[in-house]
Each structure stands twice: as C-alpha cells, then as structure tokens.
DNA sequence: AACTGTCCCTGCAAGC
DNA sequence: TGCTTGCAGGGACAGT
C-alpha cells in the first residue's frame, strides 16, 4: 500500500512522463474516485490544461496546472497510476483516464486504477486550500525535506500523548509514514512501538529522527515496497524491491535479523497490526 | 486539542 | 470444490 516511498517513486514517474504534457481529454468511470467534487468538475478542470509540475506532500501527489489550479491525486490503499499507450487495454477498476499530448496528438494515457476505491483525484483552487482541502492544509512536516530536524521532532513530541507508533502514523505530526514504514523505522531506532514519547532523551530522539530519514530514503532508492497482497507498481508497471529489506513487517514469529536473539512479535498497536523485536526494541 | 474506534471497499486467503 | 469469514489499510468522521 502506497506510503511516502511509493508515492515519491510515482511522483518521479510523473515528472518524466506527464509534466509538460497537455491533457486533451478526460474520462471518469467511477464517480466515487472524484467524490470531493464531481465528474464534471474534474473534466472541466483538466481538459485543455497543461501539467507543469509534479510534487508531493506526504502521501499526496500534487501537480501545478497552467490554468492556475492544482491537481491532487491520492492513492490511499490500492490506487495505482499507470502510463500507457493510447487505446491499450485497461485493467479492471480504471476509474480515471487522462489522454496526454506533447503537441496536438495524443501520445499516452495516464490511468488511475483503484480496486478499493479509497483513492481520489481532484482539481482544486490553491486559494481555497483550507476549505477545499482541509486534510492537505493540516498535514505535518514532510520527513524528506530540510524542515525535518531532530529539533522539530522534539517540539512535536512536547504536545503529544499517544505512543510512538500512533504518532508516526499521524499525518498531522509527520506526513507520509504508514504501517509498514512505521514498524521498520521503530525497529531500526530500537524503540518499542507502544513506548510513550515523553521521556525520550536527546540521543534517543536523534536516533529516531535518523531512522525515519534512513528508512524512507532507502525505500525510495529501492522504488518502494511491493507486497504479495498489494499490487503496488510504479508508473511504468515496475515493482519495488524494498520488501526484500523489511526486517520486521510481515515477519511475525520469525527470528530478528538484526540482533539474532529476539523473535518478531505480531500484536496490535494504535489499532494496526504491528511487528517488533522482543529483544532489541525497548 | 488530541486521541480512539468505526467505517468505507475489494481481493485474497484461510477455514469449514 | 465452493461457500463464508476475516483481514489488509489511509484517512474522514463521530465520540470521548
């Protein structure tokens, strides 16, 4: 399921294959995907418009349009963006299709495919960010920007009461971490997911900060994680390889790859399946 | 204000 | 084999 590294991989694909292209035509299949506005609003907002950038905030993909509006795409649980040849056979659950052109002839199609339909696509007015996109406006710091420092992390911890796993999953706190990377980060930082943040000393806080940056950067470098039960692929249909580097996620009951002493426990923390080492995480 | 639990939806796997 | 059940999970929302 797409978290920051997968979304960043998709963003890089958009940069390559979509930025600079003009949208000549838009098809919206299932209306649920455009539920924030409407089928008409998406078609009106994109038709004849050029895509001039591809950026990311947490798990949100954002494109500047030459109309002055912005395109937001969120993959949520099962969304995929695929670049395809015009007229190519579409997979089931292809809910939005944008026909893209370099000049005046259509040269590719961008498909938004999403079996579980949690994902969404919307064109919005950046001046109305707070009212139209309150979730986006409230996002916390993106951990792959210079803004994200151990000091910021310390400040954020001051006003929080939940456990470390809940905090990492909270998008208002740090944006982009989901269940897989929360577990991997806490394991690398040697911290128990149910531990409370109030008594972390500076060294521990720095360790957690480094683990967040390291795990996410390594996962981006590997093109994200493709799991057995998900169909995450990048824009070109390629799988990621970070799943081969997972040390705790999906390894419940197996020995710890890091300390060799503990076994990986699988429990529920913050309402989510959580894997951590019984020996090396404190 | 900040936290917890429930819901949305589909595909897949396990169990009968 | 073929059904049912449970699980996966990001974020909105309601309730505390």
Tell me the Cα Rg of chain A: 20
> Out of A10-19, A60-69, A245-254, which region has the weakest mean confidence (pLDDT)?
A245-254
Residue A92 beta carbon within 7 A of nucleic strand B: yes
The pLDDT score that the predictor gives to residue A132 is 87
Q: List residue ranges whose Cβ is under 7 angstroms from nucleic strand C.
A: A 1, 3, 58-60, 74, 76-78, 116, 118, 134-135, 169, 171, 178-180, 229, 272-273
Using pLDDT thresholds of 50, 70 and 90, give the confidence band for residue A192: very high
Query: With b meaning 16 or more CB within 10 Å and e meaning fewer, what string describes A188-209?
Result: bbbbbbbbebeebeeebbbbbb
Query: Is residue A229 over pLDDT 70?
Result: no
Residue A27 forms beta bridges with which residues? A97
CA distances from A39 to A34, A35, A122 (A): 6, 8, 9
Task: Return phi, psi of residue A108, to 5°.
Answer: -160, 165
Cα within 13 Å of Cα(A125), Cβ side: 5
Q: How far apart are CA A1 and CA A227, in angstroms?
A: 8
A134 touches strand B (CB under 7 A): no
The CATH number of residue A193's host domain is 1.10.8.50
pLDDT given for residue A230 in this prediction: 61
Q: Same domain for A47 and A89?
A: yes
A44: left (phi over 0), alpha (psi -120 to 50) or beta: alpha
Q: Do A160 and A80 reside in the same domain of the chain?
A: no
Q: What is the pLDDT of residues A206-227, one digit of tens each?
A: 999 999 999 999 999 999 998 8
Nucleotides of B strand lying within 7 Å of any protein CB atom: 1-6, 8-13
* Predicted pLDDT at A10: 95
Distance in angstroms: CA A22, C1' C6: 45
Say yes or no to pLDDT of A103 above 80.
Answer: no
Q: Say whether both A18 and A123 belong to one domain.
A: yes
Structural domain boundaries enclosing A207: 150-277
Nearest to A115 by CA among A13, A5, A6, A30: A30
Instruction: Say if residue A75's pLDDT is above 80.
Output: yes
Å between CA of A119 and C1' of C4: 28
Average pLDDT of chain A to the nearest whole number: 92
Strand C nucleotides, any atom under 7 Å from protein beta carbons: they are: 7-12
A134-CA/C13-C1' distance, Å: 13
Does residue A106 sit in the same domain as residue A196? no
Check whether residue A262 and residue A184 sit in a common domain.
yes
- With CA of A134 and C1' of each nucleotide, the nearest comes out as C12
Residue A88 binned pLDDT confidence (cut-offs 50, 70, 90): very high
Could you say which DSSP state residue A65 is in?
B
Number of folded domains in chain A? Answer: 2
What Å value separates CA A104 and C1' C13? 44
Please say if the pLDDT value at position A120 is more than 70.
yes
Mean pLDDT for A87-101 is 94
Last residue of a domain, one of A81, A102, A137: A137
Protein CA at A274 to nucleotide C1' at B11, angstroms: 22
Query: Which one of A115, A137, A159 terminates a domain?
Result: A137
**Do the domain assignments include residue A66?**
yes
Query: Given A113, A137, A161, which residue is the final one in a domain?
Result: A137
A170 touches strand B (CB under 7 A): yes
User: Is residue A206 in a domain?
Assistant: yes
* A67 Cβ nearer than 7 Å to chain B strand: no
Which residue's CA is nearest to the C1' of nucleotide B1? A159
In sequence order, the β-bridge partners of residue A275 are A266
- Whether residues A178 and A211 share a domain: the answer is yes
Q: Which residues of A are catalytic?
A: 2-3, 59, 272
Rounded distance in angstroms from the CA atom of residue A101 to the C1' atom of nucleotide C15 = 49
Write the DSSP assignment of A188-255 as a string of letters: HTT--TT--GGG--HHHHHHHHHHHHHHHHHHHHTT----TT-----TTS----GGGG-SSTT-TTSB
Structure tokens at A28: 């919206």
């Amino acid at each position: 399921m797409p978290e920051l590294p997968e979304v960043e991989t998709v963003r890089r694909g958009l940069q390559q294959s979509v930025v600079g292209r003009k949208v000549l035509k838009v098809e919206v299949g299932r209306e649920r995907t455009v539920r924030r506005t409407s089928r008409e609003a998406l078609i009106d907002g994109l038709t004849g418009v050029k895509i001039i950038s591809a950026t990311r905030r947490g798990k949100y993909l954002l494109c500047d349009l030459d109309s002055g509006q912005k395109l937001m795409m969120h993959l949520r649980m099962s969304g995929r963006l695929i670049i395809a040849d015009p007229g190519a056979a579409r997979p089931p659950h292809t809910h939005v299709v944008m026909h893209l052109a370099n000049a005046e002839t259509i040269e590719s199609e961008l498909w938004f495919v999403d079996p579980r339909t949690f994902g969404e696509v919307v064109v919005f007015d950046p001046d109305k960010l707070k009212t139209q996109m309150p979730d986006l406006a409230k996002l916390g710091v993106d951990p792959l920007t210079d803004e994200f420092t151990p000091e910021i992390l310390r400040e954020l911890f001051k006003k929080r009461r939940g456990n470390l796993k809940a905090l990492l999953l909270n998008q208002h706190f740090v944006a982009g971490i989901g269940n897989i990377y929360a577990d991997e980060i806490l394991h690398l930082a040697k911290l128990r997911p149910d531990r409370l943040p109030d008594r972390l000393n500076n060294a521990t806080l720095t360790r957690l900060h480094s683990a967040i940056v390291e795990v996410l950067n390594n996962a981006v470098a590997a093109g994200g994680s493709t799991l057995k039960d998900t169909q995450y692929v990048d824009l070109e249909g390629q799988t990621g390889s970070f799943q081969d580097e997972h040390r705790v996620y999906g390894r419940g009951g197996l020995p710890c790859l890091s300390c060799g002493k503990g076994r990986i426990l699988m429990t529920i923390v913050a309402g989510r399946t959580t894997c951590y080492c019984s020996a090396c995480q404190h």
